[in-house]
Structure 1
Amino acid sequence: MNGTTDLLVLGAGIAGCSAALRAADLGASVVLVAKDDLGASNTAWAQGGIIGLPPEEEGDSPALLASDIEAAGAGLCRHEAVRLLAEEGPRLCRSFLWERLGVPFDLGTDGSPDPTAEAAHSARRIYHAKDATGLAIQTALSEAVRNHPGIQVRENLCLVDLITSPHHCLSPVRVYEPIQVHGAYLFDPATGAVEGQLAKRTLLATGGLGYLYLHTTNPPGATGDGLAAAYRASARIVNCEYLQFHPTTLYVPGKPRTLLTEALRGEGAHLVNRKGERFMARYAPEQMELAPRDVVSRAIFQEMAASGEPCVFLDLAPVAARLDLDSHFPTVLAACRAEGLDPLRQPIPVVPAAHYFCGGVLVDLEGRTSLPGLYAAGEVACTGLHGANRLASTSLLEGLVWGFRGAEAAVRELPGLSLPDAGDLAPWRTPEDPQETDPLLIDQDWGLIRSTLWNYAGIVRTGARLQRARADLEYLQHRTERFYHEASLSRELLDLRSGIICARLILNAALQNPESRGCHYRVD
């Protein structure tokens, strides 16, 4: 074993950085592990915003926010989690992100953050930094953790497995003891070495799994590493069928999808078909473009299916009539113009894409998982807040709240805890004659996973499609697992192993749930 710490935080987005900062402020020693360079998390990709504390004259309240979250969650929200976030989250956003870290939110004339509207919200309560809110938050968090003397930052390390007893213990009689988590094995792609990082408490904040889908707003690192590791360690995992699709990503054939923020529709952008007709009245006549994301995504899907067109269009003319688009949405305009599109003169081609995972490792209100010693926060965790469908701009706030609460609960448990004897834990073993990883085969396997999930477990699902997908991926998982035990480790192999496990978790959950609810939609 290569190191010890009070708290090991795996993941360096808003949940991981918030947890690390809170634990270190409370006096714990913290090791924070980032899969890529610090700052390259999914948090940095979030455009729209985060729920903040609006002025009293806005007429907002915790009860109104809770009602909006419950409505979007389609009757599956955990009421205690919703109340907790509604009561504590907006104040924490203001006090920690704005007042302490100095996140440069857009300000009103009074010098305070100027909240805006977003789809399915009943009040203007969204703090934003133009259309790059996540990047502004991540930049401030990254600077804070780098400068904190109680935090050791480790970058470009991949999670291999959680260290658990009795699974990794040398003594066979430990098998009678309950499972506990004592840290993690980490792989360094630069050296090819695996190290064991022991910790009194471990917090998963590894993000989501959107890269498993052919069309996604997520970066390539979103391969479900923490979820897969928790599954292998026997943690309780729930709600894997609920994968939210963002309705509007920039459609350019042959190019990755670029998120076009929810705030565009919040400020009045219209969805139109190729004929220029608004079509949301056929699907959500009362809410139109401001309907929940699952409704809008299915409407676009059905409109495309009926017309045979590969996309629909987002018309920004209503927004441009009242706002300076270059000032309010510079990221969106830059992305469009880079593809030769001018949003000021023409509607933007858009399609839905996999965006946010609403399931995950089940946690309580303080971030505890079903395994002693293991906490989770952010997209890898399932707090029950989102239910069957996430309300826009709740995800960053959920990561902040549960990062804080998980850190506080973990630190409270530290007195009296001791680290396991490193001599009682098995050292990492590599195959004597390891096979080399073939990048072409890895790419081929990823192509199968991503196209299978998109086609058979996407926006609209049937039992027959899900059965076909599970059968297609069953052999791939067995082959991948066998190769994992025979080959030299690489980041690509670890990502693939995580991806195939998470794909099957999604498919199994979707097959077991015949009821259409939220973003899990069964036409059969």
Structure 2
Amino acid sequence: MIKTDYLVIGGGVAGLSFAIKTAVKSPEHTITVITKDDIMESNTRYAQGGIAIVWDKKDSFEDHIKDTLVAGDGLCDPEVVKLVVTKGPERLKELIKFGAEFDTASNGNLDLGKEGGHSAYRIVHHRDVSGYEVLKTLVEKAGQIPNILILSRHYAIDLITEHHLPNIDTSSTSERTCFGAYVQNKQTGEILKIESKLTMLAAGGIGQVYANTTNPAVATGDGIGLAYRAKARITDMEFIQFHPTALYNPKESPSFLISEAVRGFGAVLRNQRGEVFMERYHSQKDLAPRDIVARAIDSELVSSGDDFVFLDCTHLDLNKFKNHFPNIYNKCLSVGVDIAKDYIPIVPAQHYLCGGIEVDMKGKTSIKNLYACGECSRTGLHGANRLASNSLLEALVFGDEISKDAVKQINRVNLPENIPEWDSEGTVEPKEKIIIKHNRKELQKIMSDFVGIVRSNERLKIALQRLEVIYRETKELYNSSVLSPQLCELRNMVNVAYLIITQSQKRKENRGGFYNTDNVTK
């Protein structure tokens, strides 16, 4: 058993931003951060583009706010958008003070990029590995603070609520309180009880629910699965953002992302006939919002029967491209694509979840003493579709805002004395572990085939029916088996898929990243 003041589930930019700010403000309290893999393995690491920040005098908060609201297609919370945009420059200055390095122009000022949906150059970046630079900086900073404990390779199984306490009737009230989490040490298999006064869910995205995703293998929707089973409010799960330009390489998973910044740099999309086509779909052409570009590519593929379209970089300055996008350039070379003379084959891939665990402007969920931050949360910033490079920004700002509230609350919280240890009595090692692997692949295929960029009522109905079979098999396995991270991941993925499908069925108009052929378009 471990007792801590703050428990942070997830070690990306959201979790570490909160942990660092809280540890500094509250040095007499302990912060425990658990990560399911190595501390450097999270969605943050793979963010290429950068952080959208109003920095240039030619830019303005008003323009960034407007761009965010337009991309969100009328479903953003304007107050949240204002908060995140206006607090952004302060959080960037802090990050630079921590040691983060971002690319500069010849005049010494930050070299600002431009991406789809943005009306100005405002993307602060570190070449094409911005997320890695941010994560490395935060990991190093957290390691210097004595009241932060990082437990790598520890996997959260379930949040501890009244449901786990003896002699508590939870049927008479809908109110829930979080007291920490049951966590498995992946190296020993031991299941720990971590009691915490305040808990932060920062467990990242849901990409592995789909067969084609830019998300790493750790992105199995754990935060949302944990919150859903604890009865937290979860909304807007139908709004899945598919990145338009992932490298077409069927043998590779996750899909390699070709950053939106490449199109901001001047690259253009072509179909396999060599035609530029985005002008037929939107006035901003190749720099239209992501949902529009992704649907345009999907339309081209459906009408042609082709497996991919192309991104044309052959007209760009090669030396500048190699300096700006070295990782992308080398990756393309490794699969036989020389961007100086070859088009890059690309397809859309699942990239980001715009909905999630519903939180207020202080990051509070509907469960007492439980916060959520980052991609697993639904703050109201993204609405129906996230504006490019607003995700790292959101995590930095909300990590700070949540920290401000948490340090005010910590001394008011008392833990119950009778929280039980994890009960694994009656479980055995599963004889057929192949069932977990098979059902995971089957779930991914169902979601990609029936709940992708374009959906229909019939596809959603079929998806739910087929998911029901996987749900029953997973539940039986969970109830009878010694737990493993693989089984728990599948359990979370089933929960997430169910939420995406059922909330897709309830939405009757097309907005942003959501498109159902049977619905009306706003």
Q: Same fold (TM over 0.5)?
A: yes
Match of 1:271 among 269, 272, 282: 269
Q: 1:502 and 2:496 equivalent?
A: yes
Question: For 1:232-311, what aligned pairs fall within 5 Å after superposition?
Answer: 232-256=229-253, 257-284=255-282, 286-311=283-308
Q: CA, structure 1 residues 253+168, in 2 after alignment: closer, same or farther (shift >3 Å)?
A: closer
The aligned amino acid for 2:31 is V
Could you list the per-position Cα deviations for residues 266-295 of structure 1 after superposition, in whole angstroms to 9, with x for gaps in the alignment?
Answer: 1110000112110111111x1000000000
Aligned to 1:39: 40
Deviation, 1:175, is 6.3
The aligned amino acid for 1:72 is A
CA RMSD, Structure 1 to Structure 2 (Å) = 1.3
Asked whether the equivalents of residues 437 and 493 of structure 1 are also in contact (C-alpha less than 8 Å), the reply is: no
Q: CA, structure 1 residues 173+339, in 2 after alignment: closer, same or farther (shift >3 Å)?
A: closer
Match of 1:373 among 369, 372, 386: 369
Aligned to 1:334: 330
Aligned to 2:7: 8
Q: CA, structure 1 residues 181+31, in 2 after alignment: closer, same or farther (shift >3 Å)?
A: same
Match of 1:346 among 342, 347, 360: 342
Q: CA, structure 1 residues 522+175, in 2 after alignment: closer, same or farther (shift >3 Å)?
A: closer
Aligned to 2:467: 473
Deviation, 1:403, is 1.1
Distance 1:40 1:347 in 2: 31
Q: 1:407 and 2:403 equivalent?
A: yes
SS in 1 for 2:179: strand
Asked whether the equivalents of residues 78 and 385 of structure 1 are also in contact (C-alpha less than 8 Å), the reply is: yes
Q: CA, structure 1 residues 381+451, in 2 after alignment: closer, same or farther (shift >3 Å)?
A: same
Distance 1:114 1:342 in 2: 26
Q: CA, structure 1 residues 181+14, in 2 after alignment: closer, same or farther (shift >3 Å)?
A: same
Question: For 1:412-423, what aligned pairs fall within 5 Å after superposition?
Answer: 412-421=408-417
Could you list the per-position Cα deviations for residues 460-483 of structure 1 after superposition, in whole angstroms to 9, with x for gaps in the alignment?
Answer: 000000000000001211221121
Distance 2:394 2:332 in 1: 30
Asked whether the equivalents of residues 130 and 327 of structure 1 are also in contact (C-alpha less than 8 Å), the reply is: yes
Distance 2:432 2:270 in 1: 45
SS in 2 for 1:80: helix
Aligned to 1:89: 88
User: What 5-or-longer segments of structure 2 have no aligned partner?
Assistant: none
Q: 1:183 and 2:177 equivalent?
A: no
Percent pairwise identity? 40
What is the number of equivalent residue pairs in this alignment? 514
Could you list the per-position Cα deviations for residues 414-449 of structure 1 after superposition, in whole angstroms to 9, with x for gaps in the alignment?
Answer: 12322221xx12221113241426342211101111
Match of 1:205 among 181, 184, 202: 202
Aligned to 2:31: 30
Aligned to 1:63: 62
SS in 2 for 1:318: coil
Asked whether the equivalents of residues 238 and 360 of structure 1 are also in contact (C-alpha less than 8 Å), the reply is: yes
Distance 2:436 2:325 in 1: 37
Q: Which moved more, 1:355-364 or 1:247-256?
A: 247-256
Asked whether the equivalents of residues 430 and 477 of structure 2 are also in contact (C-alpha less than 8 Å), the reply is: no
SS in 2 for 1:214: coil
The aligned amino acid for 1:470 is L
SS in 1 for 2:196: strand
Could you list the per-position Cα deviations for residues 157-207 of structure 1 after superposition, in whole angstroms to 9, with x for gaps in the alignment?
Answer: 111000112x11112367656310011110112111110111110000000
Q: 1:312 and 2:309 equivalent?
A: yes
The aligned amino acid for 1:188 is N
Deviation, 1:52, is 2.5
Aligned to 2:152: 155
SS in 1 for 2:348: strand
Aligned to 2:442: 448
Asked whether the equivalents of residues 264 and 319 of structure 1 are also in contact (C-alpha less than 8 Å), the reply is: no
Q: Which moved more, 1:513-522 or 1:376-385?
A: 513-522
Distance 1:433 1:302 in 2: 49
Match of 2:391 among 384, 395, 404: 395
Distance 1:246 1:155 in 2: 29
Distance 1:91 1:437 in 2: 54
Q: 1:432 and 2:400 equivalent?
A: no
Distance 1:11 1:127 in 2: 24
Distance 2:357 2:107 in 1: 41
Aligned to 2:214: 217
Distance 1:320 1:252 in 2: 25
Aligned to 1:227: 224
Could you list the per-position Cα deviations for residues 56-96 of structure 1 after superposition, in whole angstroms to 9, with x for gaps in the alignment?
Answer: 2xx21111110000000011101111111111123312x11
Distance 2:333 2:3 in 1: 49
Distance 2:516 2:242 in 1: 15
Distance 2:238 2:378 in 1: 12
The aligned amino acid for 2:394 is E
SS in 1 for 2:8: strand
Aligned to 1:385: 381
Distance 2:205 2:300 in 1: 28
